[in-house]
Amino acid sequence: MVASSEEMKQQRTYRRYQEGDDKPNAWREEIFQASWTHKCPTYVQRTPPCQASCPSGHDIRGWMNIARGIDKAPGEMSWQQYAFYLMVEANPFPSIMGRVCPAPCQDGCNRNEVEDYVGINAIEQYVGDWGLAQKLALPKSEKETGKKVAIIGGGPAGLAVAYFLRQMGHGCTIFDEHSELGGMMRYGIPGYRTPRDVLDGEIQRIVDMGIELHMNTRIGTDITLDEIEAEYDTVFWGIGAQSGRALPIEGGDAVNCITGVAFLDAFNDGRLQHVAGRVVIIGGGDTSIDVASVARRLGHITTSHDADRPEYVVLGQTAHDVASAAKREGAEVMLITRRDIKDMPAAQKEIDDALREGVEIRGNLAPVEVILGKDGRAVALRVAEMGVVDGKRGPIPGTEVDIDADLIVSAIGQLGNFTGFEDLDNGKGLMDFDRNYRSPKRDGHFVAGDILRPHLLTTAIGQARIAADGIDQYLRGDELTRRPKYDGVRFNMLNYLEEHGRALAEKHGEVRGTDNADFALHNFEDRSANEVIPHDKLFLGHFGYEARQKREEVHIGADEVLGNFEERLRGYNEEQAIVEAKRCMSCGQCFECDACVIYCPQVAVFKTKKSESLLGRYVDTDYNKCIGCYICADVCPTGYIQMALGE
C-alpha cells in the first residue's frame, strides 16, 4: 500500500544505530559477559534542555507533569493552581511571559528531534490567565526580618526582586521615575503584545505582598543616593537601559532623529498618538520591530501643526491633541538593518507580523549620513550597501542612495541614565556585576536587568531571583554562595517526599544507601545542577508523531492595521493545555511509561506500591534479580535510567 505524503511526513526518523555502526562502545562503559554485566540501573535526574535554555530557570518539566496528570495536586487543589504556584517559584509573570517571551526554552526542546517543540509558552499563558481569573495571591513569608531594601526601578527586575525578597520576609520599597510600574513591560512593549489589564493584574499581586511605592521619584535627582544608603540596609538597581543610542553619523542629532526607546515610551505613555509621513527605522532587534509596528498602527496626519510632530511629543515639548488632526492614513514605514534579513536578532514571528502589516524591511544597508533640509530637519537618510571592504564587513563606497524620511528612529542599542550616581557607570553606559549580581562599585549594592546588558524580560527576572538570594545572604551576614552551573528552580526529591508526608533522615536515620525504606529512593541521584540531558540520551523511538496545538493568532493585513491595537494571540483552553502538555517527553525524569517494567527479562524492575509511589520513584529495582542487561536503560524514553550501580 502506498503511503500518503502526510503519512510519510509522520514516519519515525529516529534510529538508535546508524548505517556503519558495527563496533561496540568502549568496554569500560559496557562490560558484557555474554548477556550480563556487573552494572545495574540507577535513576539519575538531569536538567531538561528547556529549563537550561530558560533565563529565569523555570521548572518547565515540573509543571508539564502537573498539567498532564503525573504529579497530582494535593488535597482539593486544582492542577492549574498547583502548576501556577510552581511557575511563580521562578517567575511571577506567567501571563506576560507566555505572551511576549521569545521562548528560548522551545528552541532547546528535545521534542524538536521528533517533529516539533512543545508549546511551553502557550501552556504558561493559559495557567497565568487562569491564575488572574481566579485572583490567586502570591505566597509570602509570615515573618518579617526587619531589614529594608531600596529597589531602584519598578520594571521586571525591580518587581521580581521585590517579590522574591518579600517571600523571605524583607521589607521592600520601590522607587520609580514613572507614574506607573512595569518598566519596559509597560513603556517599551506595545499594549497589543502586553495587554494592560493582564500587566496590571500581575503587578498588583506583587504590590499586594506589602511593598512600599515611591512613584514619580528619581534617585539622583529627587533623592540622593547618600540618603537612600542612610535609610536602607541594602540597595538593588533595576533601572533598565532607558536611554536609546543616537545615530553616530553626521546629522544624526537632527530634531526629527529620535531613539526607539523614546518613541515607544511616548507611545505607551499615551503622549504619542500619530506619526507623519515616511518613517525610517534603523535596527533589527525586537525594539525596532515594535517601533515599526506601532508606527503602522498610528498612521499619519496629512494636515497637522508643527507642535503635533512626533519628535516634539517624544521630547516632551508639547502635549499632543489628536482631536486637531484633519485626516488619518497609513504611515509608510521602512526598517533597515546592517544584517541580512534572515540574520536579524528580532523574533521571526514578530518579523513576519511586521511584513504582513505593511512594514518594508531592507537588509544589508548601513546608514552613513542624515540629509538635512534648510530648516535643519532631516529630510532623508543616506545609506550604503554592506559588503566586505579591505577584508572587513562595512559600507561599500559608491553604493550610497538616499531614502526620503520625515522621521528617523534609531533602535541600535540602549544605555542607562546615571545622572546623580555617575560612579556606577562602567564607562559603557551600563553597570558591572559578579555571578551573584553584586555590584563591585559599592558594598551592599546588587543589580539585575537591562542595565547589565539589554536582553529578554525573562533574563532580567532570572537575574533578579539570583540577586535576591545574594541580598538575603548579605543581610544575614553570610558569605555569598557559589551558584550552580544550571541555576534554576529544580525538583528536589527530599523536599518533595516531605511535602507528601514522607519522613526524612532526622526521623528515620540515614537517607543514602537504604534499599528498603518506603520514604526514600535508594538508587536516585540528582545531577541536575551540573548536567543537561541531551536528545541522544533519550530513546526517541518511543514517541509518536503528535502535531503541536497552535494558539490562534489574529493576523492583520496592511489595509487593516491602522488604529488596530487588539491583542494578536488567543490562548489555549484547558483541553488544549492538557493535550499539549502530554507531548512533553519529561527529559531526564520518569514519566511512568512502564517500558522498563515491560521489557525487563528478569522481572527485576517493578512498580512501587501505590501507597509509596511518588514522582520520580514510580519504579524500583530488585538487585538480586538484575543481571545488568541494559534493556531497561535502552528502552527508557527519558534517559532517566543509567547503568552505573556496581562501579
DSSP string, 143-161: S----EEEEE--SHHHHHH
The residue written with cell numbers 542595565 in the block is 451
Alpha carbons 278 and 359: distance in angstroms, whole number: 11
Nearest to 170 by CA among 475, 383, 404: 475
Extract the C-alpha cell encoding 509: 536515620
**Maximum distance among all alpha carbons in the chain?**
92
- 257, 251 in Cβ contact below 8 A? yes
Task: For the chain, state the CA radius of gyration.
Answer: 28
Extract the C-alpha cell encoding 616: 520520580
Percentage of the chain exceeding pLDDT 70? 82
- 278, 256 in Cβ contact below 8 A? no
More confident residue, 104 or 207: 207
Tell me how crowded residue 197 is: count the other CB atoms within 10 A of its CB.
10
Phi, psi of 324 (to 5 degrees): -80, -5
- Per-residue confidence at 300, pLDDT binned at 50, 70, 90? very low
- 540, 114 in Cβ contact below 8 A? yes
509: pLDDT strictly greater than 90: no
21: pLDDT strictly greater than 80: no
More confident residue, 344 or 38: 344
Listed in sequence order, the DSSP H helices in 400-533 are 457-475, 493-499, 505-508
CATH of domain 246-413: 3.50.50.60
Mean pLDDT of 576-595: 94
Highest-pLDDT range among 141-145, 387-391, 515-519: 141-145
Mean pLDDT of 184-210: 90
* Residues β-bridged to residue 152: 175, 237
* DSSP H helix total and E strand total for the chain: 21, 27
Extract the C-alpha cell encoding 395: 559600507
Alpha carbons 583 and 86: distance in angstroms, whole number: 19
Mean pLDDT of 539-554: 89
For residue 20, count CB atoms less than 10 angstroms from its CB and return exposed for 0-12, middle for 13-18, buried for 19 or more. exposed
SS3 537: helix
Nearby residues of 276 by Cβ (< 8 Å), 6 or more positions away: 300, 301, 304, 308, 309, 310, 331, 406, 407
pLDDT of residue 312: 45
Highest-pLDDT range among 143-157, 404-418, 508-522: 143-157
SS3 392: strand
Nearest to 622 by CA among 516, 517, 508, 497: 516
- Per-residue confidence at 348, pLDDT binned at 50, 70, 90? confident
The residue written with cell numbers 572587513 in the block is 392
Name the CATH topology of 148-242+416-475. FAD/NAD(P)-binding domain (3.50.50)
- Per-residue confidence at 328, pLDDT binned at 50, 70, 90? very low
Tens digits of residue pLDDT in 122-171: 999 999 999 999 999 998 888 999 999 999 999 999 999 999 999 999 99
- 431, 424 in Cβ contact below 8 A? yes
Domain ranges of the chain: 148-242+416-475, 246-413
Alpha carbons 520 and 512: distance in angstroms, whole number: 8
The residue written with cell numbers 529495582 in the block is 621
The pTM score is: 0.82
Alpha carbons 371 and 382: distance in angstroms, whole number: 7
pLDDT of residue 161: 98
Extract the C-alpha cell encoding 450: 537591562
The residue written with cell numbers 511512568 in the block is 592
- Per-residue confidence at 276, pLDDT binned at 50, 70, 90? low
H or E stretch including 485?
none
SS3 380: strand
302: pLDDT strictly greater than 60: no
- Per-residue confidence at 389, pLDDT binned at 50, 70, 90? confident
Phi, psi of 159 (to 5 degrees): -65, -40
More confident residue, 322 or 218: 218
Mean pLDDT of the chain: 84
33: pLDDT strictly greater than 60: no
Alpha carbons 467 and 408: distance in angstroms, whole number: 38
For residue 280, count CB atoms less than 10 angstroms from its CB and return exposed for 0-12, middle for 13-18, buried for 19 or more. buried
Nearby residues of 32 by Cβ (< 8 Å), 6 or more positions away: none
Strand order in the sheet with 407-410: 257-259, 407-410, 278-282, 332-336, 360-362
Mean pLDDT of 398-421: 89
Fold agreement between 148-242+416-475 and 246-413: yes
Amino acid at 318: T
107: pLDDT strictly greater than 80: yes
Alpha carbons 172 and 92: distance in angstroms, whole number: 16
SS3 409: strand
Q: For 270-333, what is the HEC assignment? A: CCCCCECCEEEEECCCHHHHHHHHHHHHHCEECCCCHHHCHHHHHCCCCCCCHHHCCCEECCEE
pLDDT of residue 512: 54
Nearest to 458 by CA among 449, 466, 467: 449
